[in-house]
């Protein structure tokens, strides 16, 4: 439980203090009030307890005075209890620190998990792009090899047949037929390799 001063005190207003001096010599006046009113000095600050204020309230009503206690209190200064928070126990402080550390650790893990997921997605995207680039490069290389094979075959046969005949028409015809045959063969192998790769990708 919090530590608290449970005593409420009242510093009476000038009029309230005048009434107290009027009751000072009464037979039923509490000793505590008499001790506080030691001299006819209305400027001296005094403090009344709640019990003393309650006695004044009763005495004012019995004396048929026009003043009312709530009015006198509204003109006075009321000092409320001072709240003093209790010192936090070492066990509670250690528990608070542990809970704070666990919370910060969870937040850090969530943050790093989000960063890792983003990094993995980015790497996955880069991997797909790299895979597409490699596929395009392979197709370009295959096309260049196909073209070189056809052109190379044409010129090789054209020059070779030139050793047997000088007729350019015959040489061109034979070279063209040979180039077409080689081109069809190369195309067959290219299609077969692509079909194998596609089948392998589907199995994965």
pLDDT for residue 100 is more than 70: yes
Q: What is the pLDDT of residue 18?
A: 80
Q: What is the pLDDT averaged over residues 55-71?
A: 84
The overall average pLDDT reported for the chain is: 77
From the number of C-beta atoms within 10 Å of its C-beta (0-12, 13-18, 19+), residue 83 rates as: exposed
pLDDT category at 65 given cuts 50, 70, 90 is confident
CB contact burial 31-56 (16+ within 10 A = b; e otherwise): eebeebbeeeeeeeebebeeebbebb
Per DSSP, 82 falls in state P
Rounded Cα distance between 121 and 154, Å, is 50
List the alpha helices (DSSP H) in 31-89: 31-36, 50-62, 69-75
Q: Higher-confidence residue: 166 or 84?
A: 166
> How is residue 102 written in tokens?
């666990």
The pLDDT of residue 126: 52
pLDDT of residue 3: 39
The 8-class DSSP code of residue 138 comes to H
CA dihedral 166, 148, 187, 198 (to 10 degrees): 170
- Delimit the domains of the chain by residue range: 3-84, 90-203
How far apart (Å, rounded) are the C-alpha atoms in residues 20 and 46?
A: 11
Residue 149: how many CA atoms within 13 Å on its side-chain side? 16
Q: Among 56, 83, 82, 86, which residue's Cα sits nearest to residue 71? A: 56
pLDDT in tens, 2-51: 433 457 788 888 888 888 787 777 777 787 777 777 755 556 778 888 88
Please give the average per-residue pLDDT across 144-159, as a whole number: 83
Examine the pLDDT at 203 and tell me if it is beyond 70.
Answer: no
Give the pTM. 0.37
Average of pLDDT values for 150-164? 83
Determine the average pLDDT of the residues in 157-175. Answer: 82
User: For the segment 127-141, what is each residue's pLDDT rounded down to a tens digit?
Assistant: 566 666 777 777 788
Can you give the pLDDT at residue 2?
40
Percent of the chain with pLDDT over 90: 0
What is the pLDDT averaged over residues 103-115?
81
């Amino acid at each position: 439980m919090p530590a608290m001063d449970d005593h409420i005190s009242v510093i009476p207003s000038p009029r309230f203090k005048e009434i107290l001096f009027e009751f000072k010599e009464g037979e039923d006046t509490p000793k505590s009030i008499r001790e506080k009113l030691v001299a006819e000095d209305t400027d001296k600050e005094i403090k009344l307890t709640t019990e003393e204020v309650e006695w004044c309230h009763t005495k004012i009503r019995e004396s048929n005075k026009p003043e009312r206690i709530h009015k006198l209190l509204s003109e006075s200064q009321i000092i409320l209890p001072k709240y003093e928070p209790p010192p936090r126990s070492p066990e509670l402080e250690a528990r608070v620190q542990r809970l704070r550390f666990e919370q910060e650790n969870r937040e850090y893990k969530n943050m790093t998990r989000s960063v890792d997921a983003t990094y993995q997605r980015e790497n996955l995207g880069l991997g797909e792009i790299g895979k597409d680039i490699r596929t395009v490069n392979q197709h370009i290389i295959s096309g260049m090899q196909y073209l070189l094979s056809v052109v190379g075959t044409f010129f090789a046969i054209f020059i070779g047949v030139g050793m047997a005949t000088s007729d350019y028409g015959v040489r061109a015809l034979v070279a063209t037929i040979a180039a077409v045959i080689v081109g069809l063969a190369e195309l067959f192998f290219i299609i077969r390799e692509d079909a194998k790769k596609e089948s392998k990708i589907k199995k994965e």
